[in-house]
Amino acid sequence: MTNGREQWSSKFGFILAAAGSAVGLGNIWKFPHMAGENGGGAFTLIYLICILVVGLPILLAEFTLGRRTQASPVGAFSALSDGSRWKWLGMLGVASAFVILSFYGVIGGWTIKYSLLALAGSFSDIASSAGGAQAEFDQFVANPVEPIFWHMIFMGLTVLIILKGVKGGIEKWSKALMPILLGILIVLVIRGVTLDGAMEGIRFLFSPKWGDLTTEGVVLALGHSFFTISLGMGTMITYGSYLRKDQDLLRAGLWVIFIDTAIALLAGVAIFTAVFALGQNPAGGPGLIFVVLPTIFPQMPGGAVFGFLFFALLFVAALTSAISILEVVIAYFIDEKQWSRTQATLAFGGIITMLGIFVSLSFGEYNVLKSFGEMNFFSLMDNMSSKYMLPIGGFLTAVFVLTRWGVPEFLKELQTGAAGMKIPLIPAIAVFGFAGLVVAYILLYEVFKVMFGAG
């Protein structure tokens, strides 16, 4: 189909771009600390099940919706439902993109700062400073100027890539950065597993301690499985809309999930082997990466180099995801409002960067949500997106396929480009029904907990 819409240049390019979107802070920053706090192996197992049972069907739904309609989410839902209210599901995706990118860009900025700190050999000073790495980190994020500067650099890079479009921007940079990411990760894993005492970290990550797993942990695992595969906000619809008909979508989906999961697990191995070998606490929470690791690197031979590589890895992963989040917003304005790519990218890249400034300020004395206890803009945005917006988006996407578009149409699109593949209808319906039920159950659990404080 050539309606002047931009297209990926190759099947491989699409897979790398989609994997680039999936692999991000979620894999390297969030997954290890969530597993660390929720029973290690038990959390890992639940997470893997959620990805296969819920993530895969919804990922395929998004790919097929995008490719069938050659439109970004609002246009896609609207085209397949005769312009009905379903287009609001697309709008929810655009809104989620604003929410997620506003905090994602801030952490993206932190990764630049910490790469440079590592490179300058400053981790050993940080580790031995008075308040230790925690105080250094708290001070950095609370500073009203410096993190905003790095955030703007990170967002500037995101905008530059998106300005170049699908082939010349997203695809080109994903192709260049993903192999670098894998290379760095392999070096770090080898470093980790060759440390004395590394086995304990591996055991922690893979052997389930069921006692430490709570219902809350299961809810987190599900929300995270959406976040980590970039589901529930139309990223994969948007990327699917730049596809030609000759791509085997089931295969592409399996690749994306495999790469995403493999990288999360490898990042977990790299981090926990080091954490256990050097005697630190795995349940370090969100600070695990920015607080615990800077004290660990100086203790290993070549620590400055490995420290730099680690934060560079985080930066690369964050960048290829950030572009996919911005692209959802940009594609909406190009498709539905006929803006030019340049106009849309500059305008909305700018607006989201501004939102990020508020998020960054919320770590310091300018936290306007201070009166709500522990809350700041960052945790608000993070919770709102991964606990509610993405699961709701994913759930409604499953409902859309089941009740409006129809599973037979979905299968027809899925089988296009996959020579000879024939998926039977009833099991496909069952898979979507089951995925929808699981998400609905978990969403209800969250809602009840917030309303009645149960759990």
Where on the chain is the footprint of ligand PHE (CB under 6 A)?
Answer: 21-22, 24-27, 100, 227-228, 230, 233, 235, 321, 324-325
Query: Measured from the CB of residue 106, what is the shortest distance to ligand PHE in angstroms?
Result: 13
Residue nearer to ligand PHE on the CB measure, 228 or 376: 228
Nearer to ligand PHE, 321 or 345 (CB): 321
**Given the complex with ligand PHE, which of 72 and 295 has the nearer CB atom?**
72
CA distances from 318 to 46, 233, 278 (A): 24, 17, 27
| Residue 63 near residue 244, CB atoms below 8 Å | no
How near is the Cβ of 20 to ligand PHE at its closest, in Å?
9
How many CA atoms lie less than 13 Å away from 267 in the CB half-sphere? 32
Nearer of residues 13 and 394 to ligand PHE, judged by Cβ: 394
Cα–Cα distances (Å) from 195 to 119, 155, 279, 421, in that order, read 21, 36, 12, 46
The minimum distance between CB 322 and ligand PHE, in angstroms, equals 8
- Quote the least distance from Cβ 101 to ligand PHE, whole Å: 8
Residue 195 tokens read as 């440390």
Task: Please identify, using beta-carbon distances, which residue of 351 and 430 lies nearer to ligand PHE.
Answer: 351
Q: How far is the CB of 56 from ligand PHE (least distance, A)?
A: 15
24: alpha, beta or left, given left = phi > 0 and alpha = psi -120 to 50? Answer: beta
The least CB distance from residue 273 to ligand PHE, in Å, is 22
CB of 4 to ligand PHE, least distance (A): 26
Residue position matching structure tokens 């706090």: 37
Residue closer to ligand PHE, measured from CB, 328 or 431: 328
Q: What minimum distance in Å lies between the beta carbon of 431 and ligand PHE?
A: 22
β-sheet bridge partners, residue 336: none
Task: State which H helix or E strand residue 385 sits in.
Answer: none
209-215's contacts with Cβ under 8 Å and 24+ in sequence apart are 209/39, 209/40, 209/41, 209/42, 210/39, 210/42, 211/39, 212/38, 212/39, 212/40, 212/42, 213/38, 213/39, 213/42, 213/43, 213/46, 214/38, 215/445, 215/455
- Of the two residues 142 and 254, which places its CB atom closer to ligand PHE in the complex? 254
Residue 369, judged by CB atoms within 10 A of its CB (0-12, 13-18, 19+), counts as middle
Specify the residue, 316 or 438, whose C-beta has the smaller distance to ligand PHE: 316
